[in-house]
Structure 1
Amino acid sequence: MASAPPAALTTARDLLRHHPLVDGHNDLAWRIREGSGLDLRRVDLAAPVVGTHTDLPRLRRGGVGAQFWSVYVPGALQGEAALATTLEQVDLVHRMIGRHPDDLELALSADDVEGAFARGRIASLLGAEGGHSIAGSLGVLRMLHRLGVRYLTLTHNVNVPWADSATDVPATGGLSAFGEEVVREMNRLGMLVDLSHVADSTARDALRVTEAPVVFSHSGARAVCDHPRNVPDDLLRGLAANGGVCMVTFVSDFVSPGCRAWALGLRAEVERRGLDPRDAAVRAAVAGEHLADHPRPRATLAQVADHVEHVRRVAGVDHVGLGGDYDGAEDLPEGLEDVSCYPALIAELLDRGWRRDECARLVGGNVLRVLREAEALARSASARRGPSTARIEDLDRA
């Protein structure tokens, strides 16, 4: 794969020294939990961490100025189990920040991001991935906000009782009445509504209900790669009208049509054997055999740039950002293997004719604007109405 000229890479690195790169999604916290439990003494982020895409040296080399750390828990966890595990992940991220005060700083607002960046630290925000984390309670949603969570992805890979996922069988037809109330309460709090992972119907309902700009924290363009996790053009146009941002992800199956076709072939083989394609261990076992006759293609950095450019063409340069999904993806494009690689992507875009100010909006300016607009809307919304006491059993009673 051809790389961008050295001059473009030099410009990209200089740009990231002056403008914070705000990445929309990183799953390091769950990767730590899987490998080291909740004991942070077992992992030293200040040194290279084998088996991850992320550590402090690579974040520094990548010019990352701010990171939304995902406090993801699996959708198989429901109710109290989902809530308890989410709180453990929130605590893990807070402790991770506390262990590295010279490098990481908790950020609760756009101003906090810029202040931390000015002090030479990586601003650390929290994002909850999936509405199952609130266990059907707006009180829990408010408490997560108080603990620093600044976006909620409405679903993960499976439906929640009040919203449909992009990768599950439709059940609600979008947002239920309670789901609409979740969006309104998020607006009142200033918590970003994240539409990555949701069904198109859910996204359309959210765009209809929300008063604040929304984000897709880690999604691509469906016109470039036909995957349900990517955003179709009509929703990109709706996102532009809303003022929101699509943060382009690096997940190979979402980036490359060839990788998507390979993944569908693997799924078909798993199903042919009468096994469950949703089981990661099953997929991995079958993939080992499948690879012998079906080599897995590699996505490329240039294909990620194609997604960025498509979002720009359809939604506009003010509505595109970056959300790598490092440590949450099984396969990453050539040239974007870990968090040190962001300058190479910016250099590719500069080489394609992007101006420096346009790249500054892409890397962080756009999402910081969205954060500020959500914060301003929350101030006015809170003055108009108090906390919602709606309950799912009242609004969504059959």
Structure 2
Amino acid sequence: MKRILGGIAIALLIIAALGFFLLPGILESNINRVADHDPYEVSEAAQAMHDGLSVVDLHADTLLWARDPLERSSRGHVDVPRLTEGNVTLQVFSAVTKVPYDQQYEGTSGDSDIITLLATVQRWPSRTWDSLLERALYQAEKLKDAESRAPEKLMVVRNAADIDRLIERRGGGSSPVGGLLAIEGAHPLEGKIENIGTLYDAGYRMMGITHFFDNELGGSLHGLSGEGLTDFGREAVREMERRKIIIDLAHASPAVVRDTLDMVKRPVVVSHTGLYGACESPRNLEDPLMKRIADTGGLVGIGYWEGAACGTSPAEIVRSIRFAVDFLGIDHVALGSDYDGAVPVAFDTSELAVLTAEMLNAGFTEEEISKVMGGNAIRFFRENLPQG
């Protein structure tokens, strides 16, 4: 009997160990889903046009997950092989460091955190378990490690000169994907202004003010206070501007957006969003604020999920893009997928030619398609990243 019980105990330990190792994949497979669909029809003309574009996506949370970005995965939305198939020139990789259990588009507190559990389950270094700063640094290390293992496939972009080098390399027979690091909500600063420099040194060139909850910098669009920038938030905005870090107002409260726009001397972005006039969702800022962002030279990335576009099909995404172009102006609209951000979508990054095809079907001009799919973002980064 002891021998039998011992065997059962060993078997249970093996099952538990296997479950521990398999759990990250199981979790992501249920969160970052792509809807089942037949292959999208893309004409030869649309594919040829797409292949000639410089495609840029302003937001993906790929570094959060237990996947090698260099390996094609059967789960999630983004990896380098799929970016290459989708002809993506530059992908902004955003580091997520804290997400409350009760996250909702309205009334979310910051009293809990899913990422602590996720970091443990995914076997992140112990230094990340209780430090939001270390979580951001670890995700930057993941991208830089991928670049070091395959520099012909991935190039980390830190300045405007890197943008030019990336374009030159892609036109010279090589086809690396560029990767630019961003922070989703500035809570990894942990209340210390000097941590902006720490994150800058780690390669971060875009920083959000808030994510799903109010933090030391100010109120979230989804938080409890509705407040604007705090004194620390104003100090952080000034330091970001001084370092030419691009400020991202996705998830910021209307008051934070107004306060930031009153302060800044450089254009800002809303990396992943929709427009309220096209989709009356609490995830989307009111249209006059979005117009103000555009009027100061800013850039707005249109998302591919239900909360941003009130639909996920290519036609529904293009409908939101059309509204944004007409309302904000053609020079201020970009792609902001929110891929790998715990959102179900109708196509992954390898299938991005379907957006080009759908825009052609909807009567977009070649200039409009070129600018929205990446031309505007390339120009914006050339003008607003540190020169290098």
1:1-12 map, 5 Å: 6-12=43-49
- Given candidates 146, 151, 154, the residue that maps to 1:101 is 151
The letter of the residue matching 1:92 is K
Aligned-CA RMSD value:
2.4
> Which secondary structure state, in structure 2, belongs to the residue aligned with residue 217 of structure 1?
strand
> Which secondary structure state, in structure 2, belongs to the residue aligned with residue 365 of structure 1?
helix
1:330 positional shift: 2.7
Q: 1:230 to 1:72 in 2, by over 3 A?
A: same
1:1-398 map, 5 Å: 6-16=43-53, 20-32=54-66, 43=68, 45-46=70-71, 48-75=72-99, 76=113, 81-119=131-169, 120-170=175-225, 173-256=227-310, 299-332=312-345, 334=346, 337-375=347-385
CA deviation profile, 1:208-237 (whole Å, cap 9, x unmatched) = 111100001111111222223223210121
1:247 positional shift: 0.6
The letter of the residue matching 1:23 is D
In structure 2, C-alpha distance between the alignment counterparts of 1:81 and 1:373, rounded to whole Å: 33
In structure 2, C-alpha distance between the alignment counterparts of 1:251 and 1:230, rounded to whole Å: 12
The 8 Å contact of residues 71 and 128 in structure 1, kept in 2 or not, is answered as: yes
1:162 positional shift: 2.2
The number of residue pairs the alignment matches comes to: 320
The 8 Å contact of residues 8 and 351 in structure 1, kept in 2 or not, is answered as: no
1:371 positional shift: 2.5
> Which secondary structure state, in structure 1, belongs to the residue aligned with residue 155 of structure 2?
strand
After superposing on structure 2, the runs of 4+ consecutive aligned residues of structure 1 that deviate more than 4 Å are: 1-5, 77-80
The 8 Å contact of residues 153 and 194 in structure 1, kept in 2 or not, is answered as: yes
In structure 2, C-alpha distance between the alignment counterparts of 1:231 and 1:342, rounded to whole Å: 26
In structure 1, C-alpha distance between the alignment counterparts of 2:263 and 2:315, rounded to whole Å: 36
> Which secondary structure state, in structure 1, belongs to the residue aligned with residue 285 of structure 2?
coil
Q: 1:361 to 1:111 in 2, by over 3 A?
A: farther
In structure 2, C-alpha distance between the alignment counterparts of 1:375 and 1:14, rounded to whole Å: 26
In structure 1, C-alpha distance between the alignment counterparts of 2:334 and 2:296, rounded to whole Å: 15
> Which secondary structure state, in structure 2, belongs to the residue aligned with residue 218 of structure 1?
strand
1:320 positional shift: 0.3
In structure 1, C-alpha distance between the alignment counterparts of 2:292 and 2:137, rounded to whole Å: 33
In structure 2, C-alpha distance between the alignment counterparts of 1:44 and 1:21, rounded to whole Å: 18
The 8 Å contact of residues 4 and 348 in structure 1, kept in 2 or not, is answered as: no
The 8 Å contact of residues 91 and 177 in structure 2, kept in 1 or not, is answered as: yes
Q: Percent identity?
A: 30
1:357 positional shift: 2.2
In structure 2, C-alpha distance between the alignment counterparts of 1:12 and 1:198, rounded to whole Å: 35
1:4 positional shift: 6.5
The 8 Å contact of residues 195 and 215 in structure 1, kept in 2 or not, is answered as: yes
The 8 Å contact of residues 143 and 156 in structure 2, kept in 1 or not, is answered as: no
CA deviation profile, 1:218-267 (whole Å, cap 9, x unmatched) = 111112222232232101210121100001111223221xxxxxxxxxxx
In structure 2, C-alpha distance between the alignment counterparts of 1:100 and 1:323, rounded to whole Å: 25
The 8 Å contact of residues 4 and 351 in structure 1, kept in 2 or not, is answered as: no
CA deviation profile, 1:89-111 (whole Å, cap 9, x unmatched) = 11112112222212101111233
Partner residue in 2 for 1:270: none
The letter of the residue matching 1:319 is H
The runs of 5 or more residues in structure 1 that have no matched partner are 37-42, 257-297, 380-398
The runs of 5 or more residues in structure 2 that have no matched partner are 1-36, 100-112, 117-127, 170-174
The 8 Å contact of residues 294 and 328 in structure 2, kept in 1 or not, is answered as: yes
The letter of the residue matching 1:161 is E
Give me the TM-score of the superposition, normalised by structure 1: 0.75
In structure 2, C-alpha distance between the alignment counterparts of 1:92 and 1:174, rounded to whole Å: 33
